[in-house]
Amino acid sequence: MDRKKFLTYEQQIDLLKNKGLNIPDPEKAITLLKEHSYFDLINGYKKPFKAEDGNYKKNISFDDIYCLYCFDDELRYALIKRIMEVEIHIKSLLSYSFCEQFGDEEAGYLNVNNYNYSITSNQSEINKLISIITDLQNKSDSFLYMKHQKSKYGNIPLWVLVKVMTLGNASKMYSFQKPEIQTKISKEFKGITEHGLETFLDILTKFRNVCAHNERVFDHRYIKHEIVDTDVHLNLNIPKNKNRYTKGKSDLFAAIIALKYLLPQDDFGLLIDDVNKAVTELFDHTNSIQKPQLYNYMGFPENWLEIKDCKVD
């Protein structure tokens, strides 16, 4: 198969026109292609507007694609802001609970025996995590607060080190904690089991990375793992297929559900307001994509707004 060749901006516009896309203002379109690239803007957001023959559906314009792109941008900003709040909270709880049991010497968090190492399947991953943590320690000169701790006290306690850990690192660290530490942390959140928190952190890690790398988020699916079934699934009457909920398991709505449990109620309400505002603005600017179609991509049930006041136990 021949690789795709370089095309000038003018050639890119001609290609889109030949595929049936309406471009009323070519100069504006070229400006947007320069700002965002053909790959990110067109390849990333064309799918809802394409027909089965590969051409664009009737009356689809360049602006329709750009509206969807802007909508996804707003989702990313709203989502990553709230995920970062959870990240800070989890790191604080994790470092406190660990140090309370094993002390604040760095030898404590570098000792495999202070993790759930008795489970054979955990061992290689725990070794890998400790290797990552050691690498972070070795970069202490790059961070003034770590350099200060190391030079003055000869020790970098976990509550300092967690600041340079990723959410993925913290998520892994939680998953390998001894049961009593997992229980203590999970009890800080209403209605969450130890395993449930593990699945929530896992999917939020994935969506945080998607947002941070400006990847498409509205229709993202995390194919490796799913969150646990929750009261939200039940209370919103999400349908099942072969005893599995059809929405809110590995899609964007699953991340929203995770945030429902991990954010303070007011902050979660603000997130839902932000998402709803983005949805409203999208449909104010284009009628070329319908709500059922959009919600299907996002994994949102039609009554998704009810999650704001949905009770969890």
Q: By three-state DSSP, how is residue 61 classified?
A: strand
DSSP class of residue 290 equals -
The whole-angstrom separation of Cα 219 and Cα 304 is 16
The residues spanned by each domain of the chain are 9-60, 70-309
Residue 240 host element (H or E): strand 240-241
* Contact in structure between 228 and 255 (CB atoms under 8 Å): no
Closest CA relative to residue 31, chosen from 21, 22, 41:
41
Per-residue pLDDT averaged across 239-267, rounded?
A: 97
Supply the pLDDT for residue 2: 60
Residue 50, strand partner residues: 56
Please give the distance of CA 150 from its chain centroid, rounded to a whole number: 33
What does the pLDDT read at residue 311?
Answer: 87
Rg (CA), the chain: 23
Q: Rounded CA gap, 122 and 288, in Å? A: 49
User: What distance in Å separates the CA atoms of residue 205 and residue 258, rounded to the nearest whole number?
Assistant: 11
| pLDDT tens column, 150-200 | 888 888 899 999 999 999 999 999 999 999 999 999 999 999 999 999 999
* Per-residue model confidence (pLDDT) at position 145: 86
Q: 102 is written with which tokens?
A: 């094993």
Which residues, in sequence order, are bridge partners of residue 22?
61
The candidate with the shortest Cα–Cα distance to 103, out of 146, 187, 153, 159, is 159
**Per-residue pLDDT at 1 exceeds 60:** no
Residue 54, Cβ neighbours under 10 Å: how many? Answer: 8
- Side chain identity at 153, as an amino acid letter? Y
Q: What is the pLDDT of residues 102-122, one digit of tens each?
A: 998 999 999 999 999 999 999
263-280 tens-digit pLDDT = 999 999 999 999 999 999
Place of tokens 């967690």: 162
> What average pLDDT score do residues 69-94 get?
97
